[in-house]
Structure 1
Amino acid sequence: MRAKNKKYFALAALILVAIVVAVTTFVKLKGNNKEEKTISSVEDLAGSSIGVQLGTTADIYVADEYEGDDAGTNVVRYNKGTDAIQALLQSKIDCVMIDEQPAKAYTAKNSSLSILDEAFTEEEYAFAISKDNSDLTAAINLALEELKADGTITSIINNYIGSEDEIGQTPYVKQDVSRENGKLVVATNATFPPYEYYENNSIVGIDIDIMQAVCDKLGYELVIEDMEFDSIITSIRTGKADVGAAGLTVTEDRQKNVDFTSSYTTAKQVVIVKSSDSDSSLSLSEKLYQNFIEDGRYNYLLTGLRNTLIITFFALIIGIVLGSLLAIVRTTHDRNGGLTLLNFFAKLYLTIIRGTPTMVQLLIIYYVVFSSVNVSKIFVAIIAFGLNSAAYVAEVVRSGIMSVDQGQFEAGRSLGLPYNKTMRLIILPQAFKNILPALGNEMITLLKETSISGYIGLMDLTKGSDIIRSVTYEALLPLTAVAIIYLLLVTILSALVSKLERSLRKNER
């Protein structure tokens, strides 16, 4: 990148940070004027704004008990418990209902939060398994009984949430046993400490250790898949995962879709409220260390960046190749009236892809098209984004071909060139020059669209920042870092496209 471009990027990055800080400060000042509802007991929940994690039992309980009531209770649903906690810290909601142990973990790191003494309800946790896999359910139940009898489960739980003398003293150690039964894929949502969360770039927690102990008993190799909480049961039903382990409570609705093992622990639903308006006392340098250096958390962004670039590169290749073929089919039909059937399917493809959201396409390809095939999530993302990009590239290339004067095509045919050679040697090179800026825009759009890859549990840049936020409860720095990385990538891509355009113009002289 030229020195001039570097200056522009540095200036743009500084402006972005300044805007984010200014907006954040303004919103905080405005937020301080918001009249907050005081919640001192469960009886005060009516008429308040309650945050819950989407698809959890807290979501179910609050919806049944309060949503749509005469008091005007507002139920606000978040994809992650940490997002709800951040909203509470920013006074966007009045309280958060969540499981007791995660609540303790959240309040331990936030002195301005507290848990109401009164629990909302009590429940039991179990592991979810497909209804078509009753043999696995029976085997895991047997393993759980043995692990309860020999004290392993109690030891695992005490290692995380026991007394002060017990916490950290009895970590479960993976056993050296035969893994002749292959892999056991466990779906989880690693934003639920102490049951499942990230530590030192690995997913750990009570559920993870218990599942490792079960795998040691049954001869499986444990494979953990981190995904959105509301995708876990879908993954089990579609065969993407064998077991769901995410602090799952047995409910009637869930039992209609999956089976559950016997319970391995009990839990409570509690309410978290703000106890004070105190802000974090950490300095900027301390926050930078906490978000990126501590426990090597910058690796989440590096891994996400690598996956984002891989997906973008190969999806772009698919998009250009398939899009060009579709464009040729469309222009051939428009000019010559041939390829009627292919043109029909090409138009149908373009209508469907361009008329539906990219995220929906990604989920359909992952959960439906590849439901019975165990393939890499990166491969799934490449296919999904490649097919999506092809629909837009097709129209770009078609417009480029149509912009080339018809006389160019007739000149090639008059020289005795067949249709395919005329298109390849005369029309397409000229069309490519015309559409280069539009292709550059499509490449940039594709790069940014990959930020939804986290919905299938794939680690991309945005997912990396989500993991950091789930650990540090800090939103500004991780999201700003990701925004700057995307800005840098877009600036580099724009510079490369501009350089290629200048090079092509030189060849015209």
Structure 2
Amino acid sequence: MKKRFGLLLALIAALVMLVVPVGNTTHAQAADNSLEKIQKKGVLVMGTSPDYPPYEFQATVNGKSTVVGMDVQIGKKVAKDLGVKLKIKSMSFDSLLVALQTGKIDMIISGMNPTPARRKNVAFTHTYYQGGYDIVINKTDKAKYKNKDSFSGGTLGAQTGTTQYNASKSQTKNTTVKGMTSQSDLILALQSHKLDGVAMEKPSAEAYVSNNKQLAAIPSDFNMSSSATSSAIAFRKGSTSLVNKVNKTVDQIKKENLVKKDYLPAAGKYLKTNTVNTSMTHYWKAFLTGIEYTLIITVCSVFFGFIIGILLALARMAKGNFFKNLLRWIATAYVEFIRGTPMMVQVMFVYFGLGLFVNLPALTSGIIAISLNSGAYVAEYIRGGINSVNIGQTEAARSLGMSNGETMRYVVLPQALKNIWPSLGNEFITLIKDSSIVSIIGVTELIYQSNIVRSDTYRGVAPIVVIMVLYFILTFTASRILNYFERKMQHD
């Protein structure tokens, strides 16, 4: 199962820890009111990665895509016993622990192992399920592969941050191990023969195999400890009263054998429902929602990014007294820092890091991060455009009695905008595609929706083809509109 942060999230966690007040942690451990806070709030936010059937996955329920599965049933039971409502927040598995530590979610139920390394950072309940591992292969290779030792010279895949990924790396010889963040991506890679096998939990392996006749499952024969093959609910460190209360629910679930008797059979029904109609037209609402959020993110980011870019460009060109020099230095440092760090890191830092002080929704965090990133690039376009305007234009404007501000506003900037319009148009097209990055924090744009469809239908290629076409339509339409205005400006 899932074991530890990836390298990227380790960096984010380190940055977050720099801005977490130490005194708050000490106070939280000294006075635990975690149970009281949840009951007072009336809502229990459950974080999960819905690409791991039958634990958690997407299914169409009453015409709406919904997170279902064994872990969701457990979450509902926990919330009911606490007397609160359950709210499910979907995100990539690698983001869950950071989200828990920064208060974005209240608990994790996502097939997570209570390993010693994790126990140092979060509190776990009693285990609610004991599983094992299989390796999923193409059925045509069933005679070739028998267990993990059969993949010598081959390629084995596993979800990054999981115990099966670590076991694949440490317990195989002469085997290339590739990690991916999504189970559906791994299965797609397997079926396209990029991988020879995919290591995953037995229930998940059985779910994929039962819904795809081209796949088969073989024993993994990994040597794993009990903590590495069991699942538990994770809470923030120091949430003793809350963990003790939830332990009573977990003990009841185990005593009454609810997982095998009720929760797994219910998940199996949803798995069968998903394969009744797997046509892409059946999921047009999901793709339409993805287009809507992609356009919202892009338009908002372009608007705010342009404003930020103008301010940064003017600040970078400021000269004179100490204040102007300081402003220029800050603007230059900002532009260089933003352009020197990945947008994915910026998105995650805005969502998780700034979220420590302001509880920003995922969509708002995504727009802020992309706007800040775009502003740094737009600033350089605008600065270059301003420098391209002949100095004689400025001198002519000043000779007419125009102030510096009026000269910049009415003479220089209009001409600069005309010169940099192609670059700004390219930035807009780029942002349409870059908006896909916010899917890592659970924003339901096109990439996120395509993953939902892939999880629903167990079809790997078809949803990818659909979003490729949709992205092309969006970018081609935008480029035609931008070219029209460019011709108008050139004519004027």
Shorter-chain TM-score bucket reads 0.5 to 0.7
Q: Is the 8 A contact 2:289 2:444 kept in 1?
A: yes
Q: Is the 8 A contact 1:469 1:475 kept in 2?
A: yes
Q: TM-score normalised to the size of structure 1? A: 0.63
Task: Tell me the equivalent position of 1:466.
Answer: 451
Write out per-residue CA displacement over residues 152-187 of structure 1, whole angstroms, 9 at most, x where no aligned residue: 5554325337xxxxx65xxxxxxxxxxxxxxxxxxx
Matches within 5 A, 1:242-257: none
Q: Is the 8 A contact 1:148 1:154 kept in 2?
A: no
**Number of aligned residue pairs:** 350
Instruction: State the structure with more CA Rg.
Output: 1
Match of 1:475 among 441, 460, 463: 460
Q: 1:422 to 1:157 in 2, by over 3 A?
A: same
Structure 1 segments unaligned to the other structure (5+ residues) = 1-31, 162-166, 169-192, 201-285
User: Which amino acid in the other structure matches residue 141 of structure 1?
Assistant: N
Q: Is the 8 A contact 1:37 1:48 kept in 2?
A: no
Task: Tell me the equivalent position of 1:443.
Answer: 428
Task: Tell me the equivalent position of 1:82.
Answer: 184
User: Which amino acid in the other structure matches residue 290 of structure 2?
Assistant: G
Q: 1:503 to 1:447 in 2, by over 3 A?
A: same
User: Which amino acid in the other structure matches residue 214 of structure 2?
Assistant: S
Identity %: 34
- Paired residue secondary structure (2:216): strand
User: Which amino acid in the other structure matches residue 77 of structure 1?
Assistant: G
User: Which amino acid in the other structure matches residue 310 of structure 2?
Assistant: S
Match of 2:288 among 294, 302, 312: 302
Q: Does 2:237 correspond to 1:135?
A: no
- How far residue 483 of structure 1 moved from its aligned partner, in angstroms, is 1.4
Structure 2 Cα separation of the partners of residues 118 and 403 of structure 1: 64
User: Which amino acid in the other structure matches residue 327 of structure 1?
Assistant: A
Q: 1:290 to 1:402 in 2, by over 3 A?
A: same
Matches within 5 A, 1:345-356: 345-356=330-341
Q: TM-score normalised to the size of structure 2? A: 0.65
Structure 2 Cα separation of the partners of residues 323 and 117 of structure 1: 56
Match of 1:293 among 276, 281, 285: 281
Q: Does 2:362 correspond to 1:362?
A: no
Structure 1, 345-354 or 83-92: larger mean CA deviation: 83-92
Q: Does 2:356 correspond to 1:371?
A: yes
Q: CA-atom RMSD, angstroms?
A: 3.0
Q: Is the 8 A contact 2:309 2:377 kept in 1?
A: yes
Match of 2:407 among 422, 428, 432: 422
Structure 2 Cα separation of the partners of residues 396 and 326 of structure 1: 11
Write out per-residue CA displacement over residues 427-458 of structure 1, whole angstroms, 9 at most, x where no aligned residue: 11111111111111111111111111111122
Matches within 5 A, 1:61-100: 61-66=167-172, 69=173, 72-100=174-202
Task: Tell me the equivalent position of 1:494.
Answer: 479
Match of 1:102 among 204, 210, 217: 204
- Paired residue secondary structure (1:116): strand
Structure 1, 473-482 or 104-113: larger mean CA deviation: 473-482
- How far residue 354 of structure 1 moved from its aligned partner, in angstroms, is 1.0
Q: 1:37 to 1:332 in 2, by over 3 A?
A: farther
User: Which amino acid in the other structure matches residue 391 of structure 2?
Assistant: Q
Q: 1:379 to 1:461 in 2, by over 3 A?
A: same
User: Which amino acid in the other structure matches residue 446 of structure 2?
Assistant: L
Structure 1 Cα separation of the partners of residues 198 and 356 of structure 2: 35
Task: Tell me the equivalent position of 2:160.
Answer: 54
- How far residue 500 of structure 1 moved from its aligned partner, in angstroms, is 1.5
- How far residue 133 of structure 1 moved from its aligned partner, in angstroms, is 2.3
Task: Tell me the equivalent position of 1:116.
Answer: 218
Q: 1:363 to 1:80 in 2, by over 3 A?
A: same
Structure 2 Cα separation of the partners of residues 145 and 338 of structure 1: 64
Structure 1 Cα separation of the partners of residues 459 and 186 of structure 2: 12
- Paired residue secondary structure (1:312): helix
Q: 1:437 to 1:322 in 2, by over 3 A?
A: same
User: Which amino acid in the other structure matches residue 474 of structure 1?
Assistant: R
Task: Tell me the equivalent position of 1:317.
Answer: 303
- Paired residue secondary structure (1:339): helix
Q: Is the 8 A contact 1:36 1:94 kept in 2?
A: no
Q: 1:41 to 1:348 in 2, by over 3 A?
A: closer
- Paired residue secondary structure (1:500): helix
- Paired residue secondary structure (2:371): helix
- Paired residue secondary structure (2:278): helix
Structure 2 Cα separation of the partners of residues 42 and 151 of structure 1: 31
Structure 2 Cα separation of the partners of residues 318 and 370 of structure 1: 20
Structure 1 Cα separation of the partners of residues 402 and 327 of structure 2: 24
Q: 1:88 to 1:365 in 2, by over 3 A?
A: same
Structure 2 Cα separation of the partners of residues 145 and 457 of structure 1: 31
Q: Does 2:492 correspond to 1:504?
A: no
Q: 1:446 to 1:84 in 2, by over 3 A?
A: same
Write out per-residue CA displacement over residues 123-163 of structure 1, whole angstroms, 9 at most, x where no aligned residue: 221111111322222221122234445665554325337xx
- How far residue 395 of structure 1 moved from its aligned partner, in angstroms, is 0.7
Task: Tell me the equivalent position of 2:397.
Answer: 412
Task: Tell me the equivalent position of 1:253.
Answer: none
Structure 1, 336-345 or 89-98: larger mean CA deviation: 336-345
Q: 1:415 to 1:146 in 2, by over 3 A?
A: same
- Paired residue secondary structure (1:75): strand
Q: Is the 8 A contact 1:400 1:432 kept in 2?
A: yes
Structure 1, 464-473 or 443-452: larger mean CA deviation: 464-473
Task: Tell me the equivalent position of 2:4.
Answer: none
Structure 2 Cα separation of the partners of residues 101 and 154 of structure 1: 11
Matches within 5 A, 1:200-215: none
User: Which amino acid in the other structure matches residue 156 of structure 2?
Assistant: I
User: Which amino acid in the other structure matches residue 388 of structure 2?
Assistant: S
- Paired residue secondary structure (1:299): helix
- How far residue 88 of structure 1 moved from its aligned partner, in angstroms, is 2.0
Q: Does 2:254 correspond to 1:156?
A: no
Structure 1 Cα separation of the partners of residues 367 and 324 of structure 2: 29
Structure 2 Cα separation of the partners of residues 336 and 423 of structure 1: 19
Write out per-residue CA displacement over residues 61-97 of structure 1, whole angstroms, 9 at most, x where no aligned residue: 222212xx4xx11111121122222222222222221
- Paired residue secondary structure (2:317): helix
Q: Does 2:296 correspond to 1:326?
A: no
